[in-house]
Chains A and B, each alone.
Chain A
Amino acid sequence: MSGRKNPYLTVLFSVICAVYIFPILVLLINSFKTKEAITRQVFMLPTAETFVGLENYIRGVAAIDFFRSIGYSLIVTALSVALILLCTSMCAWFLSRVGGRLCRALYYSFVFSMAVPFQMVMFTLPYIADRLGLTSPWTIPLVYLGFGAGLAVFMFTGFVKSIPLSIEEAAMIDGCSPLSTFFRVVLPIMKPTYISVAILQTMWIWNDYLLPNLVLDKTRGYYTIPMAIQSAMTDSYGTVDYGAFMALLTLAVVPIVIFYIACQKHIIKGVISGAVKG
């Protein structure tokens, strides 16, 4: 490859990038403006009269107890992802190493579940979760494990098949039990898959709206961030406080951007290796 860079393309992409990031900037700008200024001149920078400092943030956070929602979102996402990683990796290893008709049937049921849209279970799953008492942020991870197992089992199985059996057999001969073989030998080898699965599941669960909205017990105030945003917009009956709403949207975007910048490389790798799910 020659060292010659194409300056026109660089300029072109800089312009497209600026357009691309523009909505986020507009959001940020408007979170510091008065309600009237937002609806009247959305693209204008705040002026002396329209600048309100952190007022929107204070009002928004107070109105819907937003930090509590961030807490719930963190609990739900972290617990669910941890549970999915641990359980489905063990399950996938077991299924592909034991083999046989039953294991294959189970594996194909997991694959099948990937093709089923949530709408298919959206009326029955909340009923079952409610009957079993899985309606708090600490118990909903079990629901996520069940509904999200398909992709995770599929990805882990794909990787397990590429690990040579001889490594595990050597460990077993040396006296390792299956459990210690899994945790000491298999788990370290599968690290890249763990990261990919973790990224994909985090992206899904953190942003998921419909499932937690139907399953979590809202009478106890269990609102995740997407639920809180949606209720802030719809429960106000036409008199939406746009200033506070912009502040809330900004607060919802910030953690994601930080997370993204911190583990960008892994995220992109995860996307490429998980690019099978529809």
Chain B
Amino acid sequence: MNKMLKKWFPIFLIPTLVAFFIGFIVPFFMGLYLSFCEYATIESPDFVGFANYARIFTADSQFWYSLGFTALFTAVSVVVINVAAFAVALGLTRNIRGTNLFRTVFFMPNLIGGIVLGYIWKMIINYGVLIPLFGKDLSYSSTYGFWGLVVVLAWQQIGYMMIIYISGLQSVPEEVTEAAKIDGAGRWQTLRRVILPMVMPSVTICTFLSLTNSFKLFDQNLALTDGKPGRLTEMLALCIRNTYGTTPKSHGTAQAMAVIFFIIVAVIALLQLRSTRSKEVQQ
């Protein structure tokens, strides 16, 4: 079958492969190359070696500020999202009325795009909370912006992670929790020592997902704060976009930032997977 199928590659393989080259391979390697160049237009790059990277590491304070802001934001959101999603999932897997309706509602914000979501919350946070209470809006302080972003992302992602946690919790056999109860384990002990280890695969997936989603956040950031005040709530993805085109040298600099951004995302993904995989329980 193998040999016969091979001849059919123009039909089965070529369309995806051509698009993959246009949409990924070529722009990826071009980007990698351009991060070592200085250029006014993409057609005429001058190779400058590590100059762009050197500039980021020595002179670009905004990049480091954005990296710190993004890291802090990611740490807070991952905890908030996962704790809340797990708690909701625990509640909804109990025997209560209206479970399906609750699930439906919690999941819904996920389908609304980041731009639309950001503006809905901007209206509510500004006109509903900050202006009436403090007489100031989101662009007044980076603290407001920070927590605003946490609220928006949590509101969007809790439902998604909840779905994954529910499917994990439902796969825990009832005999196991019953046995723990008979052996005299309290509720908290059952949760920590029996249920949690068994849903570790879900924890891995959700932590990983929320981590990368928070780290790569762009749309919500653009709509809710647009980096204001100044560039104090500018996360990395937005920083890269805003750097591009500000000065003649900025094209290469922004592309080099994108490469660093990519490396961080890739490394986080690998580390995270490895460290949580080892905690999973084999069945």
Q: Which residues of A contact B (CB under 8 A)?
A: 1-7, 9-10, 12-14, 16-17, 20-21, 23-24, 26-27, 30, 38-40, 42-43, 87-88, 90-91, 93-95, 97-99, 106, 109-110, 113, 115-117, 119-125, 127-129, 132, 134, 142-150, 153, 165, 168-169, 172, 177-179, 182, 203, 206-210, 225-226, 229-230, 233, 242, 245-246, 249, 252-253, 256-257, 259-261, 264, 267-268, 271-272, 275-278
Alpha-carbon distance A132/B19, docked complex (angstroms):
12
Q: Which of B25, B106, B219, B261 interacts with A209 by CB under 8 Å? A: B219
Complex Cα gap A38–B244 (Å): 36
If A149-B16, A276-B205 touch, whether A123 touches B34 (CB-CB below 8 Å) is yes
Q: Which residues of A contact B116 (CB under 8 A)?
A: 207, 225-226, 229, 249, 252-253
Cβ contact within 8 Å between A9 and B124: no
Question: From residue A111, how far is it (CB to closest CB) to chain B in Å?
Answer: 11
Which of chain A's residues have a CB closer than 8 A to the CB of B255?
A: 123-124
**Contact yes or no, A87 B211, CB < 8 A:** no
Binds A, one of B5-13, B48-56, B67-75, B192-200: B5-13
With contacts A145-B23, A147-B23, A256-B111 known, is A120 near B259, CB below 8 A?
yes
Q: Does B179 contact A (CB under 8 A)?
A: no
- With A98-B2, A120-B31 known as contacts, the answer to whether A260 contacts B111 (CB < 8 A) is yes
* Interface assignment of B208: CB less than 8 Å from any CB of chain A: yes
Interface segment among B58-66, B94-102, B142-150, B180-188: the answer is B94-102
**What are 12 A-to-B residue pairs whose CB atoms are below 8 Å?**
A20-B105, A38-B127, A87-B15, A94-B9, A116-B266, A123-B244, A124-B28, A124-B255, A153-B16, A172-B1, A225-B113, A278-B212
Docked-complex contact A91 and B12, CB < 8 angstroms: yes
Q: How far is the CA of A210 from the CA of B163 in the complex (A)?
A: 27
Closest to B102 in A: A13
CB distance from B103 to the nearest CB of A (A): 8
Total contacts A-B at CB 8 Å: 280
A120 touches B28 (CB 8 A): yes
Contact A119 B24 (CB under 8 A): no
Closest to A168 in B: B1
* A271 in contact with B259 given A94-B9, A123-B34 (CB within 8 Å): no
- B97 to A10, Cβ gap below 8 A? yes
Contact of A146 with B114 at beta-carbon distance under 8 Å, contacts A115-B265, A121-B28 already known: no
Which B residues are in CB contact (< 8 Å) with A1? 95, 174
With a cutoff of 8 Å between Cβ atoms, the chain B residues found around residue A146 in the complex are: 19-24
Contact residues in A for B101 (Cβ distance below 8 Å) = 17
Taking a contact as CB atoms closer than 8 A, the residue among A97, A117, A134, A208 that contacts B1 in the complex is A97
Q: Please give, as numbers and ranges, the residues of chain A lying within 8 Å of B9 by CB-CB distance.
A: 94, 98
Bound CA span A17–B111, Å? 17
Q: Which of A13, A97, A110 neighbours the largest number of chain B CB atoms within 10 Å of its CB? A: A13
Question: For the complex, what is the distance from the CA of A225 to the CA of B222, rounded to whole Å?
Answer: 15
CA–CA, A209 to B238, complex, Å?
13
| Contact of B113 with A210 in the complex, beta carbons under 8 Å | no
Please give me the residue from chain B that is nearest to A276 by CB atom.
B205
* Distance to closest chain A CB from B99 (angstroms): 8
CA distance A273 to B139 in the complex (A): 40
B11 touching A121, Cβ below 8 Å:
no
Is A38 touching B123 in the complex (CB atoms < 8 A)?
yes
Contacts of A14 in B (CB 8 A): 98
Q: Is the CB–CB distance between B269 and A278 below 8 Å?
A: yes
